[in-house]
Amino acid sequence: MAVANWSATCHGLFIISFLVIVSALFGTSSAQLNATFYSGTCPNVSAIVRSTIEQALQSDPRIGASLIRLHFHDCFVNGCDGSLLLDDSANIQSEKNAVPNANSTRGFNVVDDIKTALENACPGIVSCSDILALASEASVSLAGGPTWAVLLGRRDGLTANLSGANTGLPSPFEGITNITAKFTAVGLNTTDVVVLSGAHTFGRAACATFNNRLFNFNGTGSPDPTLNSTLLSSLQQLCPQNGSASVVTNLDLSTPDAFDNNYFTNLQSNNGLLQSDQELLSDTGSPTIPIVTSFASNQTQFFEAFALSMIKMGNISPLTGSSGEIRQDCKVVNGQSTTQAIELRSGSAEKTVNLEEM
């Protein structure tokens, strides 16, 4: 995907050009979703989402990164249908129990707060899957990143896909080839791999996600040679071999709570925290290298590309029209009581895996 180098000062022209490009990229498929879907039924939806996240950020500066990760992990499994938000029930094995999600996905309480506020303002109108899309844009914008016209009109799925979450989500331990294959499987390309990895410019990750790079990279018994030596030393102190795997540290060393292009400049200094991050630049001959280099030198270009890739990701197999439903409670399908879901969840096996957190 070519990324145009528009002037940041021509905001109005950018929005017009942006929407034209979005239309060209997604054709009739994106016509099912549109930016004005709730203009008549819940006109304050964006403001309600944003204000709820602003309040959450006062006590949890990493919540924005956590919310965008929920959207990412939702869309890669069953499409963008809110399936990740469902708890265990008699008929559902929750995706929350999948290895990439267990004890690491977070922000569900904020999603519930947003849903409650929206149900008070416009009951039965806004889907949980649309909440995730709106929360992602608000989280990025509030952290100093780009804004974009979020395409809306998704409906919520009636089931989850635990096995799909275990196999389809990119892992921080994987190389570029495997990660790109998982992106390709949902209609995303190499540019999208680099662009969406840039979301690691804010948030946190647990020791479990990079501990192998510190002591036994790829079974060698030695650290990852691409890891900056200063960063290696500090991480080995933070995450000793027999220490807690759940300790977290910043994904971006320089501006951990700001959305900027420092993620890419960090890679140029071998300061990518996760194996999957650093390989964007260190995998010799990879088509990702010139993209990383370009974004490291041009934040505006990264922001514009990020907005496009987020809309593209948000358009993965949405349920529209009469498909699915508008959940009253994001944790359960309509007709199942919250009490039942809580009882089933409390009786499920204890989760022990703690992976990438954001």
In a domain, 108, yes or no: yes
**Comparing C-alpha atoms, which of 49, 15, 226, 217 is closest to residue 127?**
49
In a shared domain, residues 317 and 301 = no
pLDDT of residue 230: 97
In a shared domain, residues 301 and 338 = no
83 annotated to bind ligand: yes
In a domain, 107, yes or no: yes
In a shared domain, residues 155 and 79 = yes
pLDDT by residue (tens digit) across 109-121? 999 999 999 999 9
In a shared domain, residues 218 and 317 = no
What are the structure tokens assigned to 295, written together? 């974004």
pLDDT of residue 1: 36
Residue 219 has pLDDT above 70, yes or no: yes
Mean pLDDT in residue range 84-93? 96
In a shared domain, residues 127 and 40 = yes
pLDDT bracket for residue 357 (50, 70, 90): low
Residue 29 has pLDDT above 70, yes or no: no
pLDDT of residue 353: 38
CA distance 105 to 102: 7
Average pLDDT, the chain: 89
- Please tell me whether the overall predicted TM-score, pTM, comes out greater than 0.85 for this model: yes
Residue 8 has pLDDT above 60, yes or no: no
pLDDT by residue (tens digit) across 35-46? 999 999 999 999
Considering only the C-alpha atoms of the chain, give the largest distance between any 2 of them, rounded to a whole number of Å.
61
In a domain, 352, yes or no: no
In a shared domain, residues 229 and 125 = no
Q: Which of 59-63, 109-113, 282-286, 295-299 has the lowest mean pLDDT?
A: 282-286
Domain count along the chain: 2
What's the 3-state SS for the chain? CCCCCCCCCCHHHHHHHHHHHHHHHHHHHHCCCECCCCCCCCCCHHHHHHHHHHHHHCCCCCHHHHHHHHHHHHHCCCCCCCHHHCCCCCCCCCHHHCCCCCCCCCCHHHHHHHHHHHHHHCCCCCCHHHHHHHHHHHHHHHCCCCCCCCCECCEECCCCCHHHHHHHCCCCCCCHHHHHHHHHHCCCCHHHHHHHHHHHHCCEEEHHHCHHHHHCHHHCCCCCCCCCHHHHHHHHHHCCCCCCCCCEEECCCCCCCCCCCHHHHHHHCCCCCCHHHHHHHHCCCCCHHHHHHHHHHCHHHHHHHHHHHHHHHHCCCCECCCCCECCCECCECCCCCHHHHHHHHHCCCCCCCCCCCC
In a domain, 90, yes or no: yes
255 annotated to bind ligand: yes
Is 73 among the residues known to form the active site?
yes
CB 101 within 8 A of CB 206: no
257 annotated to bind ligand: no
In a shared domain, residues 34 and 162 = yes
77 annotated to bind ligand: yes
In a shared domain, residues 276 and 329 = no
71 annotated to bind ligand: no
The set of residues, in sequence order, having a beta carbon less than 8 Å from that of 235 and lying 6+ positions away, is 210, 214, 227, 249
Choice among 62, 69, 71, 73 that is catalytic: 73
In a domain, 240, yes or no: yes
In a shared domain, residues 321 and 295 = no
CB 78 within 8 A of CB 161: yes
For residue 213, what is the domain's CATH number?
Answer: 1.10.420.10
pLDDT bracket for residue 12 (50, 70, 90): very low
In a shared domain, residues 258 and 328 = no
201 annotated to bind ligand: yes
Mean pLDDT in residue range 214-226? 95
For residue 327, what is the domain's CATH number?
Answer: 1.10.520.10
For residue 14, list its beta bridge partners. none
In a domain, 111, yes or no: yes
Residue 271, domain extent = 199-305
In a shared domain, residues 66 and 92 = yes
Residue 20 has pLDDT above 80, yes or no: no
In a domain, 152, yes or no: yes
79 annotated to bind ligand: yes
200 annotated to bind ligand: yes
In a shared domain, residues 34 and 164 = yes
Residue 204 has pLDDT above 80, yes or no: yes
In a domain, 11, yes or no: no
Residue 3 has pLDDT above 50, yes or no: no
